[in-house]
Structure 1
Amino acid sequence: MQNGKYRRELEAAVDVVQRACRLCVDVKSSLLRADGQVLEKNDQTPVTVADFGVQALVSLELGTLFPSIPLVAEEDSTFLRANNLAHSVLTVVTEKSSSQNELTQDDVLEAIDRGANVGFAFGSKPATYWVLDPIDGTRGFLRGNDVLYVVGLALVVEGEIVLGVMGCPNWHVDLSEESNSEDLERGGVWSRSGAIMIAQVGHGSWTRRLSDMQSPSKMFHNWTRCFVDECRLVHEARFCIPDSQTWESLPPSTSLQATTNADHVGNGQILLLQTCCGSLCKYFMVASGRASVFILRKKSQTIIKTWDHAVGMICVHEAGGKDTKLPPILLSLPFFFWRNLGNVTRYVQDYFDSRRQQHNHYASISNTLSDNDAPRLQATTKALDATVSCPYPCFFPSAYMSGCTDIYDI
């Protein structure tokens, strides 16, 4: 990792994500004492000063170090300008910026817009660009301290995700529980102070505590290697799904019930972990080995946004998860990718290497389904079969996720 091809970019990404997480923690503390910093976007997603602040901070830091590499991010400055919150964002960014120059509101607004879809004139296939989700799980950010949210940053080079960094300020575990990991250096264990996860292509995924700023010479000290869960049996796996969806809405519920009680998982049941909020939190769960499977039901006419998945994909893959071959358009069109319903198993079977017989259990219920439903069951069966036969998690149904199966529209 220390001698990787993208060492300089990784160091910068780790540093700025740490700064961004600290910005989030500080802003959240202030929100507990004051009102007026929560906005609503047109799509009803809550946006905070932290959300804009993270994007401005990351844009400024990376723009200084890598001025030729564009940024793809979620926000633009429209809401800040309309609600006169630029000064609030400037304040929180200034506190965490490494710049020796005094920042202005215009600097912040321009930095935010640098990541918006009007901020850079991409070619049809940009060779290199950053992908940022300033706060994935903003609803979680606005809830209690035990709810997860993630700052996610990835670097894409010629259509390949080459590195990723996820910061999760509220990540915590019981320090007495055994970890599915190996130490890179002493002290590499999770604590209740948050965690940061990094991944670089060919070098694995690693995590450590979200501690105080460290000097560049100690940037890669005290990391713990991450591995995905090695569970091979569906009924022993730990599942997570978006908090906006229910287990009953997913195909596996036809034959498996879900429980959130880890101490009482009965026959015909699976353990469903309650995880809020955002897709990157689920990727973090799987890459760390805490969850075995992440299921996402792709809604009709959904816009698949690159920043919701890019960094999570590389972290899971480098932790031992198998990802399917991404359709090139997902990363060559950096802002979003639209997919209509249909083509249920277009990318699925090519990447299965099933070696067990779990398939038969789910195939046995096919007689109860209509001809229209049969392909859905087949895709689910294949995904479940891959789950029990591979030493890596299988994400199904997925919307361009890194797992054994790739696309499953419901």
Structure 2
Amino acid sequence: MDYSGPYAKELELACLTVQRATLLTKKLLEAVDKGTLGKSDDSPVTIADFAAQALIIGAIHNAFPDDEFVGEEDSTALRQDETLLERTWELASTSRLDDEASESLLYAPQSREEMLEIIDLGAKGQCTPRSRAWVLDPVDGTATFMKNQQYAVCLSLVENGQQKIGVLGGPNLNLEDGRIQEEVTDQDGYGHQVLAVVGEGAWIRKMSTGSLLPATKLDPVAQIMDPSEIQFVDCSAATSSNFELHARVAKRLGAPWPPRADLWAAQLRYVAIAIGGCHVLIKVPRKTSYRSKIWDHSGGMLIAQELGVTVTDLSGNPVDCSLGRTLAGCYGMVVAPASIHGRIVEAIRDTMEESDDDE
């Protein structure tokens, strides 16, 4: 790719640090015991989450010390478990790019205590209308990561509440048949990286162990008009969204169901729209109080939008990325080509009203 715009430095650094973090996760996949512990919400977390967050924030913070960070992890568990701390430090301190020129652009923590402090930068940050914040999910899809299936390393730049850069690394992405499947993984290489800059479009590249490989510009998504052509991406195992109601929306539209892609990692559902033959993602929460974490969507939303996709809440309102650590003003999601987005919003509204009448 040939990008020399105002975010050129940020983009190069983001792509390199995501690539280095994906190599870290691949290294851990070779281990039998991945150092798992339980989070308060009972989702699994591994030393890869901690070590990847340390490397990503360390590199960006060194280059942009005034920026904020919004990350999923904090260092509490590591401070309470010496064995876990040592394993995380070993992973973070030995994961480097093979290319010296590329690695020289990236900083890494120099001690265990610095690593812990860097991790905690992510736990303290907020996205506000006047902040410049890097939003990251070091391992999106930890449950599937533990099975050596699909997962993503995610980083985005949000400036004054607006997404500017999005970089998603899929270390196991195998695109040989033009779709993304949990069990069909890249076992010989290092997957793919999908990236976008606001107003400039989106690209894809293969990842390597060294310097960044050439990137190819992605074509815009098809602006379909006929609902029968829709290919959904969803997650049948998600407990936060109403998969059964999603099926009723598809039936009302006359769209094929079940979804073409069934993916656990939230960010990879955006990748499935960008490169995996899917068109539409909807999320109707089971609880009216549910709000998504910003790191599950920031960056992926930008990639989709740069390819001609409209991203809104269930009422068709734009998503606000300036409300802290969640998408606090966004109830549910509708992600679809602009040509058919309005019809999907209407179908969801009618289906939800029908569901309320049935109760």
Q: TM-score range by the shorter chain?
A: 0.7 to 0.9
CA shift at 1:93, angstroms?
Answer: 1.1
1:158 is aligned to: 160
Of the three residues 220, 242, 248, the one matched with 1:227 is: 220
Contact conserved, 1:304 with 1:338, CA < 8 A, in 2?
Answer: yes
Contact conserved, 1:136 with 1:308, CA < 8 A, in 2?
Answer: yes
Counterparts of 1:60-209 in structure 2, within 5 Å, are 60-84=58-82, 85-97=84-96, 98=103, 103-117=110-124, 120=125, 125-144=129-148, 147-174=149-176, 193-209=190-206
Counterparts of 1:5-404 in structure 2, within 5 Å, are 5-30=6-31, 33-34=32-33, 37-84=35-82, 85-97=84-96, 98=103, 103-117=110-124, 120=125, 125-144=129-148, 147-174=149-176, 193-214=190-211, 219=212, 221-245=214-238, 249-253=244-248, 256=251, 269-300=256-287, 301-324=289-312, 330-338=320-328, 369=354, 372-373=356-357
TM-score, normalised by the number of residues in structure 2: 0.80
Distance 1:123 1:13 in 2: 18
Distance 1:161 1:64 in 2: 21
1:398 is aligned to: none
Distance 2:345 2:160 in 1: 37
- Letter matched to residue 321 of structure 1: V
Structure 1 range deviating more: 61-70 or 235-244: 235-244
Distance 1:100 1:132 in 2: 17
List gaps (5 residues or longer) in structure 1.
179-190, 259-266, 375-410
Distance 1:255 1:70 in 2: 40
State the SS of the aligned residue for 1:256.
helix
The number of equivalent residue pairs is: 332
- Percent identity at matched positions? 28
Distance 2:165 2:300 in 1: 10
Root mean square deviation, CA, Å: 3.7
Contact conserved, 1:130 with 1:154, CA < 8 A, in 2?
Answer: yes
State the SS of the aligned residue for 1:322.
strand
State the SS of the aligned residue for 2:54.
helix
List gaps (5 residues or longer) in structure 2.
97-102, 180-187
Distance 1:55 1:282 in 2: 22
Distance 1:155 1:335 in 2: 14
- Indicate how the Cα distance of structure 1 residues 140 and 61 shifts in structure 2: closer, same or farther if over 3 A, else same: same
- Indicate how the Cα distance of structure 1 residues 206 and 226 shifts in structure 2: closer, same or farther if over 3 A, else same: farther
Which protein shows a greater Rg?
A: 1
Distance 1:330 1:249 in 2: 27
Structure scoring higher RCO (CA < 8 A, sep ≥ 6) equals 2
Distance 1:152 1:57 in 2: 13
Distance 1:248 1:172 in 2: 26
Distance 1:358 1:163 in 2: 27
- Letter matched to residue 314 of structure 1: L
- Letter matched to residue 29 of structure 1: E
- Indicate how the Cα distance of structure 1 residues 247 and 233 shifts in structure 2: closer, same or farther if over 3 A, else same: farther
Distance 2:63 2:171 in 1: 25
Contact conserved, 1:149 with 1:276, CA < 8 A, in 2?
Answer: no
**1:286-332 residue CA offsets vs partner (Å, 9 max, x unmatched):** 12252111122223122321111111110101122123499799422
- Letter matched to residue 136 of structure 1: D
Contact conserved, 2:227 with 2:255, CA < 8 A, in 1?
Answer: no
TM-score, normalised by the number of residues in structure 1: 0.70
- Indicate how the Cα distance of structure 1 residues 161 and 255 shifts in structure 2: closer, same or farther if over 3 A, else same: closer
